[in-house]
Structure 1
Amino acid sequence: MDKDFKMVATTISGLEGVLADELRKLGAREVKEAIRSVHFRGDKGFLYKANIALRTAIRILKPIKRSKIFDEEDLYEAIQRVKWERLLDVDGTFAIDAVVYSRNFTSNSHYIALKSKDAIADYFVHKYKKRPNVDLKYPDVKIHIHIHKEWLTISLDSSGDSLHKRGYRSATNIAPINEVLAAGLILLSGYKGEENFIDPMCGSGTILIEAAMIANNIPANINRKHFAFENWKDYDEDLYFVIQDSLLKKIRNAHFKIMGFDKAPSAVKKAKQNIINANLEEFIGVHHVNFFNSKKEVFGKTTILFNPPYGERLNINIEEFYKNIGDTLKHGYSNSTAWLITSDFNALKFVGLRTSKRLPIKNGDLDCRFVKYELYEGSKKTKKFSES
C-alpha cells in the first residue's frame, strides 16, 4: 500500500476555502489552507484523484525537498542535494518554473528558474558526463521552485498544463472566464444542481459547462488528454484507471434546467460547440436572447450567475448597463438568487438592488467582488410576513 505524503494544490486568491472543502470531500488528510494554496496529505492514488476531480485547483504539487537558503549559492547547493536520477532519466527532458517571494533574492522568477536548471544540468554532467535536455512544452518531468522568505521548496508538478485547461474549450469569446474561476464561483454560490441555473450572458459557455459538471458530479478534468504524472518513473497506469473508473461511477443525472443566453449569435455558436466538446449537450440549452429583453420562464427556485462586462472587456455605458441588469432582475426574475462578478465596484451602485453578500476574489490581476442578490416574490417584507 502506498504511503501518504505531503501535497500542495494551488488556486486563485479567494478560492482557498472552496478548494479545502473539495479536498476534504475527496478524502484528503491534514487539509490546511494557505495563501492561494491548500496543503494536504494523501497517497499516489489520491494524487491521481485530485488531478482528475478537483474543480478549483490550478495544479497539484508534490514537494520533494525543503531547505533554508539565503542566496543563489545556497539555492544551487540545495538543488544539487536531490537525487535527481531517481526522478529523471539522463536522456529525458525537464522544465522548471519558479515563484519567488523573498528579499534575499532580487532576481526575477525567470532568472531563478534558469539558475535551478543549471544546477540540475550540472548534477547530471558531474555524475554521468551527460545532461537531460530542457523541453518547455512537453517535458518528462516538470519541476516547481518556490522561495518564500528564507525557505526553498522543490516540488514535482504532477499536473503539467494548468488544470483550468479542461480540454473542452475550442472556441472562445472576448476575455473568457477561467474554468477554475467559473467552477469556484458556482461552488461559492452554493449551487449543487438541485435547482434551475441560468447564465444570462454566457459567452462561450464556460460557466454553463462547469455548472453542468457540478450538477452531474462529472470529474472536472475527465476530458484532459494528459497529466504530467503519467511521465513519472513510478506511474501506475492500472491504479490510474481504477481511480478514474471509481470517479466515473459517481456521476449522476441532474433533472433541473441549465440555460444560457447571449445576444451575439457568434457567442451562442461557440458555446454550443464547447458544450458538445464536453459531451453535455443533453443537459444545457443555449439561446440567442438579449437578457435585458427576457424574463424567467422556468418554474421553481433558480440560481442566476454571470460574468458581465467590466474593466476593459467592452466599451459600454457602465451606468446604463448595470442599471439594466438590476431592472431586468427585479422585474423578470423573482424567486431567484442572482450572483455576478465585477472589478468595477462603482458600477454596482447602479444595479439598484441591495447585495446580501460581497465576496473578494481575483480574476487574473483584477481585484473583484462576487456579489449576491436575493430576488423575492413581491417584497422582502411580504415574504417574511407570509412565512411567519
Structure 2
Amino acid sequence: MDLRLFATVPKGMESLLAGELRGLGAATVRQARAGVTFTGDLETAYRVCLWSRLASRVLLPLAEGRAGDGEELYATARRVDWDVHLAVTGTLAVDFTGTSPSIRDTRFGAVRVKDAIVDQFRERHGDRRPSVDTRAPDLRVNAHLARGRLTLSLDLSGESLHRRGYRADKVQVEAPLKENL
C-alpha cells in the first residue's frame, strides 16, 4: 500500500533531497517549501529514515483541517482515531509549528492538540490516557499550522535525523555542523 509522505529539509536543499528520495525508491516525488512530498510503502519510509543524508524528518500525514482558532484546532485533532496509533499506556509528544492571528504561541497549539488526543482516550477508556514524554515518546505527533489549516502527521523518524550519532562519543569540535548539511 502506498503511503503519502513528507520529508523535511533545510530550505534550499529541496531539489537535492528529491533526487536522493528517488534513489531510495520513492515515487511521485514533488518539491515543496522546506521539504519534499513523495509516495512509497512502509519499507520505503523506513529506508528513507535509515539512509537519507539530507532529510531532517519523515512525516506521515494523518489529517488536515481548519484551525483558525483553538477550538477548530482541537476539533481537527479530535477527528483522528488515535487508538490506531497509540496505546492508552503509551507516551506522546506534540511538536507544533506555525501561527495564526488567534494562535500566536506554539506552546498553546501543542497543548490544544495534546488535549484533543488525551480527551479522546479519556472518553473511550475511562480516565486512562497516554502520558506526555517530550524526550523519548512512543508517538511523536507533528502539527503544522499554515494559512488557517492544520496538518497532523506522525513523525516516523523520532528525533531529527541530523542527530543520528550526535556526539555519541562526546567529542566536541569547534564548529559542529548538522550532519545533513
Q: Give the TM-score category using the shorter length.
A: over 0.9
Aligned ranges 1:333-352 → 2 under 5 Å:
none
Which AA in structure 1 matches 2:110? A
Q: Provide the rounded CA distance (Å) in 1 between the counterparts of 2:158 and 2:164.
A: 12
Computing the radius of gyration over CA atoms, which structure comes out larger, 1 or 2?
A: 1
Q: How many Å separate the matches in 2 of 1:179 and 1:105?
A: 36
Alignment match of 1:19 (pick from 17, 20, 42) = 17
Structure number with the bigger relative contact order (C-alpha 8 A, sep ≥ 6) is 2
How far off its partner does 1:34 sit? 1.0
Aligned length: 178
CA distance in 1, matches of 2:174, 2:22: 35
Displacement of 1:69 in angstroms is 2.7
Shift of residue 126 of structure 1?
A: 1.3
| Counterparts of 1:137 and 1:69, CA distance in 2 | 27
Report the alpha carbon displacement of residue 175 of structure 1 after superposing the two structures with TM.
3.0
Q: State the SS of the aligned residue for 1:139.
A: coil
Cα distance between partner residues in 2 of 1:115 and 1:85: 18
Q: SS in structure 1 opposite 2:164? A: coil
Is the 1:104–1:149 Cα contact (8 Å) retained in structure 2? no
Residues 113 and 168 from structure 1, CA distance in 2 versus in 1: closer, same or farther, beyond 3 angstroms?
Answer: closer
The answer (yes or no) to whether the contact 1:98–1:146 under 8 Å persists in 2 is: yes
Per-residue deviation, 1:44 = 0.5
Q: Partner of 1:82 in structure 2?
A: 80
Per the alignment, residue 48 of structure 1 pairs with 46
Distance 1:53 1:46, change over 3 A: same
Q: For structure 2, which runs of at least 5 residues remain unmatched after alignment?
A: none
Q: How many Å apart are 1:159 and its aligned residue?
A: 0.6
| Aligned partner of 1:73 among 71, 74, 81 | 71
Distance 1:106 1:66, change over 3 A: closer
Matched, 1:109 2:128: no
**Distance across 1 between alignment mates of 2:31 and 2:116:** 31
Q: Secondary structure at the match of 1:33?
A: strand
Q: Percent of counterpart pairs with the same letter? A: 39
More helix by share: 1
- Runs (5+) with no aligned partner, structure 1: 182-388
Q: Distance in 2 between matches of 1:48 and 1:149?
A: 31
Residue matched to 1:172: 172
Q: State the superposition RMSD in angstroms.
A: 1.3
Contact 2:70 2:103 in 1 (8 A): no
How far is the alpha carbon of 1:168 from its aligned partner?
A: 6.2
- Residue aligning to 2:148: 150
1:156-207 residue CA offsets vs partner (Å, 9 max, x unmatched):
00011110112164312123111111xxxxxxxxxxxxxxxxxxxxxxxxxx
Q: Secondary structure at the match of 2:114?
A: helix
Q: Deviations over 1:303-359 (max 9, x none)?
A: xxxxxxxxxxxxxxxxxxxxxxxxxxxxxxxxxxxxxxxxxxxxxxxxxxxxxxxxx
